[in-house]
Amino acid sequence: MSARRLGHRTEFLASLDDVLQDTAAIRRRAERLPADATRSDRLALAADLAAALARMADLYEEAAERLQAIRARKRTYAAYLRAAALRRSAAVEPSALPPAQSPALPPAMGDRI
Question: How far apart, in Å, do the first and last CA atoms of the chain sit?
Answer: 53
Residue 81 has pLDDT above 80, yes or no: yes
Mean model confidence pLDDT for the chain: 82
Q: What are phi and psi of 48, to 5 degrees?
A: -65, -40
When divided into structural domains, the chain yields a total of 1
In which domain, by residue range, is 82 found?
3-112
Per-residue HEC secondary structure of the chain comes to CCHHHHHHHHHHHHHHHHHHHHHHHHHHHHHHCCCCCCHHHHHHHHHHHHHHHHHHHHHHHHHHHHHHHHHHHHHHHHHHHHHHHHHHHHHHCHHHCCHHHCCCCCHHHHHHC
pLDDT of 4 higher than 80: no
Instruction: Name the band, by pLDDT with cuts 50, 70 and 90, for residue 108.
Output: low
- Asked if 101 contacts 95 with a C-beta cutoff of 8 angstroms, the reply is no
Specify the range with the lowest mean pLDDT, choosing from 10-14, 15-19, 70-74, 97-101.
Answer: 97-101
Question: Is 0.85 surpassed by the pTM of this model?
Answer: no
Whether the pLDDT of residue 27 is over 80: the answer is yes
